[in-house]
Each structure stands twice: as C-alpha cells, then as structure tokens.
Amino acid sequence: MGKQLLKIILFICLIFVSWNSIAQTQTITSPGSGTFVVPDKITTISVQVWGAGGAGGTNSGGGGGAGAYSQMTFTSLPSNFSYSIGQGGTSTTRNGGNTWFSSATTLMAVGGIGGGNNNGNGGAGGLASAGYGTTKTSGGNGANRSGSVGGNGGNSPNGGNGGNGGISGNSGIAGTNPGGGGGGSGNSNNTVPLGGNGQIIITWSCSNTLTSASGTDSQTLCVNNPITNITYEIAGATGATFSGLPAGISGNYSSGNVTISGSPSVSGTFNYTITPTGSCTSNVINGTITVTANQTVGAASSSPTVCIDNSFTNITHSTTDATGITNDGVDGANGLPTGVSATWSGNTITISGTPSVSGTFNYSIPVEGCLSSGVNATGTITVTANQTVGAASSSPTVCIDNSFT
C-alpha cells in the first residue's frame, strides 16, 4: 500500500506542476447527494473520492474497516456533475457508505465494513477492485479485538485515520474523515464508535488570458473618447468584480468572458483590478488605463496694428494640457507675416518679431496634445505700410504777385 500511496501523491504533484497556474480545490464533506457546477471555461478536472469508514464493534468489538480511495481526471466536461458522499458507519448502518462522482460506475470508492460485536473481528476495508476510477486503493482493514480491548479502526488511503480501540469498559474512538474506521469498544461497553464520512476533492486550474490585442490592458487615450475594448478569458470562476475603472468605463462578465469598454469622462491614471468570484478568487487581473485631458488654448492677449518693419508687444496665448505647437519658431508660418514667429513653452504661446510685409494676417496655430486636430490659437495682426511722398512736378520761377502752374 505504501508504493500505491506514493503514486497517488506523485500524481497530485504532477497535476499542479504540469498546469503551471493557480490550482483551485473544492472539498465536499457532507454525506448525501448533490450537484457540482463546473466553473466557466474549465475543460479538465481531477477528482478524488473516499468511501466512508465502517463503525467499530461493541463489547470487545473489532475495529471498522476504512473506506477505499479512487481518482480520475475528467475532460470534455458537462455543465454539472451529480455526486454522492457515503456516511460513516453508525449503530444502524454499521458499514460505511460508498462515495461516487458522475455516476456509481464512473468514479466510485467503496465504504469499509463495520467491526464485529462481542469479541468480534475487525471489518474489511473497502476494496479497490469493487470501485471505479483510474487510480484505486483499498482501505485498511480494522483490527481484531485483543482480549478485553477493542480493535483499532483501519486507515483510509491518503485520508482519515482509524480510531483506537477502547480498553475494558471504555468506548472506542470514532474514525476521522475521510473514511477512517471506528475503533472497537472495550469489554462491557456497548457504544458504537462511528466511522469517518466519505469525501470528494475536485481540483482544476485557474487561468487568465488577455484575448484582445497585446497592450490593450495598458492603454492611453484622450478623455471622452472610446477605449479599445479590453477582453479576457477567465477560466475557473463563476463571476467577476471590477474596481479602479474611470467614470464612463465599465466591466462585464459573461460565462468566463470579460469585456471592459466605454468612454472615460475624467482624466488621470487608473489602475484597475478584476477579481474572479465563485472560485479562483486569488487569481486577480491588473491593468492600467491612462486618460489624458484634451488640450485647450486661450484668446490672444492683443490684436496689434503695427507699422511695417517695426516690432510690437509680444502676443501670448495660454494653453492647458498641451505638448507644443506646429511649426514652433518657424518664421511666417501658420498665417503669420514674414518676420514674425510663434514659440511654445510652459503652456504659453508667444508670438513676436518684426513684420517685413504689410497686410492683415489672420493666423491659426495648431496646438498639439491629446487631440490630433481642431485646437488652434487664432488671432489677427495688422501691418500698415509706411507713408511715402513723391518728387515735385516742377520747380517754377514766377514774378511776385503772379500765379504759377
């Protein structure tokens, strides 16, 4: 039995290593029937079952036999499985009940036999050969009584221990869960030590997979613009909660598929968390959405009229959340007159220079930032040509008191 137990342990370890992700285990201990609902997106589960232990005998009774153990892996899963957990042997039932998963002929471990009363022999452990599964191990046999001392209960493989037999006049000890046989009671004691109940352990792998494009879980966008939907596949949960998302963005869970979508209405850096519910709750998802405010620009500080070849008081525009301007420092760009340029620094646009051409110049300077277009610093500069005078049409000589042409 030692070699078989080692195989079981190695098999379980192999499951955890080969999945290379967080393993989730559900242990079901209450005797009776029920339904196990398969978590979303799970395609493989490993299931272990223990039969219940037999009760100990009375009055120098034999120890109860331990429940057997069975294990198998299920693939191509339905939405749910039926199961039944055997109850430990009692004064009424004596023998431990069988435990099964899916059906009594698919995966099943047999319960142990109750110990004999009145100088009785130990009960047999549940037989592996009577069970169903990929890996099967028989339960330990209960010990015979020894004189006035009850026999010890059998141990269940990789499960509960058998209870100790009672000395003369004392009750034996109940077997522990799962599947331990009850110890036989001592001479002149009619108490029936209970066998341990059966048990089912179901193990599956939790995983999270980003199914939208790489990088969508850490994206930057402008406020009031839709994000690129972020999608995940969550295996092993039945729901999810969302925290840390900006206003205007929401998360939705549906049958293992998660979608984050919407248009953020506030700017900032938002570190979001998705927490699976139902199971796999420690397998959380983290991401970041960075929302940049749209750039803005104020009105011109002045709209000067200036003589050609003369400088003017610098014109300024204040900006917010800008990163620069188009044609920074380029002479005559963006509708400015030749000799005049615009520069940006510290969220201020400064227009300066000496115009070398006359005219009315309506400028429009694109302000760079989150929005790719549509934000411009606009204004007017009027450049007046200098006055001029021509040469005299003639230089006449005329007599006093006479007119001239």
Q: What pLDDT score was predicted for residue 3?
A: 40
CA 191/CA 403 separation, integer angstroms: 156
- Determine the Cα–Cα distance for residues 180 and 45; give it in Å rounded to an integer: 26
Encode pLDDT of 363-383 as tens digits. 999 999 998 889 999 999 999
Task: Please tell me the predicted confidence (pLDDT) of residue 372.
Answer: 86
Peptide bond into 78 cis (omega under 30): no
Burial 234-263 (b: 16+ CB within 10 A, else e): bbbbbebebeebbebbebebeebebebebb
| pLDDT at position 283 | 92
Considering only CA atoms, which of 198, 248, 187 is closest in space to residue 67? 198
The whole-model pTM stands at 0.76
Annotate 68-113 with DSSP letters as a single string: PEEEEEEES--SEEEEEEPPPP-TTT-SPPPEEESBTTTEEEPPPP
- What is the rounded CA–CA span in Å between residue 376 and residue 373? 8
CB 110 within 8 A of CB 136: no
Contacts of 252 (CB under 8 A, 6+ apart): 258, 259, 260, 261
Please name the amino acid found at residue 100: W
The pLDDT value recorded for residue 222 is 94
Alpha carbon 197 to its chain centroid, in Å, reads: 35
Confidence of residue 55 (pLDDT cuts 50, 70, 90): very high
Alpha carbon dihedral 104, 110, 111, 116, in 10-degree steps, equals: 130
Closest-CA residue to 126 (of 62, 189, 50, 178): 50
Residue 22 confidence (pLDDT): 79
The lowest-confidence range among 6-15, 84-93, 138-147 is: 6-15
Q: Determine the Cα–Cα distance for residues 88 and 117; give it in Å rounded to an integer.
A: 17
As a 3-state breakdown, the chain gives helix, strand, coil percent values, each rounded to 5, of 5, 35, 55
Domain 211-292: CATH superfamily, name plus number: Immunoglobulins (2.60.40.10)
* Burial class, 319, CB count within 10 angstroms (exposed 0-12 / middle 13-18 / buried 19+): buried
Residue extent(s) of CATH 2.60.40.10 domains in the chain: 211-292, 296-384
On the 0-12 / 13-18 / 19+ scale of CB atoms within 10 A, 358 is middle
pLDDT tens, residue by residue, 223-248? 999 999 999 999 999 999 999 999 99
Rounded to whole angstroms, the Cα distance separating 135 from 46 reads 11
Average confidence (pLDDT) over 251-263:
98
The rounded mean pLDDT for the chain is: 94
In the structure, what pLDDT confidence band is assigned to residue 21 with cuts at 50, 70 and 90?
low
CB 171 within 8 A of CB 191: yes
For position 235, what pLDDT does the model report? Answer: 96
Q: What is the pLDDT of residue 250?
A: 98
Tokens for 257?
A: 């598929």
Helix/strand/coil for 4: helix
Q: Considering the chain, what percentage of its residues have pLDDT values greater than 90?
A: 90
Left (φ > 0), alpha (ψ -120 to 50) or beta: where does 105 sit?
alpha
Q: Could you tell me the two tokens for 227?
A: 């994000």
Q: Which CATH architecture has domain 296-384?
A: Sandwich (2.60)
Amino acid at 169: G
The CA distance from 304 to 207, in Å, is 66
Residues 6 or more apart whose CB falls under 8 angstroms from that of 349 comprise 297, 316, 317, 318, 319, 325, 342, 343, 365, 367, 377
Measured CA to CA, the distance from residue 345 to residue 341 in angstroms comes to: 14
